[in-house]
Structure 1
Amino acid sequence: MSRSGWALGAVLTVAVLGGAGLWGAMRLGAFEIGENMSTIDIEEKGPDGLPIIHWWVEREEFEKIQALLDAGGDIEVPGFQGATPLLKAAVADSWPMAVFLIERGAFVGAVDRRGMTLPWLAATSRVKEGNPDFPALLKVRELLNEKGMLGQYYEPNDVKKRIKEGNWPPK
């Protein structure tokens, strides 16, 4: 890459990422070498201080997540409120990402400190027929149904109450 191209990329990155700046952009893989990241740090944190996989789930960076998991990254690493990457994807109604993570082995029975669960999020999703993500939501619902979990959705406050009482997971 030429100096002018690199400088333009740096300026644009700083403008887009704001506080994360150039160093944050480099750490997030904005400046990749070839088609693959030059190194993978499975302990890397995003600009928010959470594990990098959560940053990439939010941005639907499938290839980066694939590389991270292939390098031994933790698919269940907790983020905000103890949410797993799968719960983060579901909270954001990113159902293609949720399918991807389930297919990579993510635990569908996870619960975070807010009481969020995948069955509840799939049942109450704002994604409707006609939305490009709707087929992926149907796939998640199908996978939950196969595990006998589709009908086992509880409102978050009920989940927190059940956890406090020692009645979680449901039997």
Structure 2
Amino acid sequence: MALTVGALRRATLELHDAREVVTISALSSKLGFTPRQVRSFVDSVNGLREELRIYSARDFVALMYVDAADCLRLKGEGVTYIALARELGLPRQTVRSAFERHPDWAVYMWLSSPVDAKRKERKHVYSAAVSELRRKKIKRSRWAVAKECGYVLNLVLRDFKRDPTLWDLLKD
């Protein structure tokens, strides 16, 4: 059997019907050619890759990370390297190196570092502590917030220094 555009179209339709992702490797196994032969043929025909909607490995990996990030958001968790690694079942270093190779992915997925995620979590704790101080009619200060939360004062001072919006919590 020769490698033709018609054969590629039929194989693509079969993969779509089977609800499989159309990649070069899937097409090559379906048609009985090597991935190198299929890739060179697809690249030689102008616009064939777009017509057949062939995912490159990079696109598929990016979609996999986006899907995992969406699942984490639906669960109410923050999207971090550690959470993505846990969701995908991959080592942390694999996830981290993927985002180092493609830094634009982090922007699209609103990826936050573990430090930012912890700071965001502490911000919610500070908000609850200020509400409790307000309820008890205790003067609101950074020291009182630290005491109410059970955090070390230096941690609270550093968070208030880095995030100016926390000062709004202390205002009446």
> By percentage of residues, which structure has more helix?
2
Answer 1 or 2: higher relative contact order, Cα 8 Å, separation at least 6. 1
TM-score (structure 2 length as normaliser): 0.29
Structure exhibiting the larger radius of gyration computed from Cα positions: 2
TM-score (structure 1 length as normaliser): 0.29
